[in-house]
Amino acid sequence: MSAVELYPGYVSPLGVGTIPHEDIENHTGLELLQRIVDGTYPAPPIGAALNYGLVEVSEGRAVFRGVPNERHLNPLGGVHGGWAATLLDSALACAVQTLLAKGEAYTTAEFKVNLTRPITPGTGEVVCEGVVVHKGRTLAVSEAKLLDGNGKLLAFGTETCSIFPAEKLKPR
């Protein structure tokens, strides 16, 4: 693997890839995500495709930074709402992952996004912070805000994730 720039100034030293499944059994969700932040694991491919990356994690919290550009435009020349939705989904779900025990996995069951301001290639770097508001045994709920460099709200969302044994991730 070789280094890849996810967005201007943010490089993933190991390029892109996924967390080895066997590591899910041996590390908590927070430990796994911290390894992405630290560069021990590669960045997820979606970040390279959409120009954003995970920059900070703590218990119940995940922070991403990204830069929208011309590759993300809709037919009218604004950044497609799906770009913001995908960034929000990443922060919402990774916030949940930070609370998972060894051997636990998750998937998004439902999420809602509200877009509050237009996003353009001129918006510049954005920050998206997700936090968990509730975690039970099989479901977790999180919320996130997407802010521009001046702290203006661009979008926000909520998400429900299903939590299950990681062994269910294995191909059948």
Beta pairing, strands 153-165 & 139-147: antiparallel
pLDDT for position 1? 63
Quick one: how far is CA 31 from the chain centroid? 15
29-38 and 81-97 helices, crossing angle to 10°? 120
pLDDT exceeds 70 at position 17: yes
Range of 47's domain?
Answer: 4-168
**CB distance 145 to 151 below 8 Å:** no
pLDDT of 135-158, one tens digit each? 999 999 999 999 999 999 999 999
CA atoms within 13 A on the CB side of 74: 11
Count the Cβ atoms, other than its own, within 10 Å of residue 147: 16
Find the CATH number of the domain harbouring 53: 3.10.129.10
Which phi and psi (to 5°) does residue 68 adopt?
-70, 150
Number of domains in the chain: 1
Q: Mean pLDDT throughout 34-53?
A: 95
3-state SS class at 72: helix
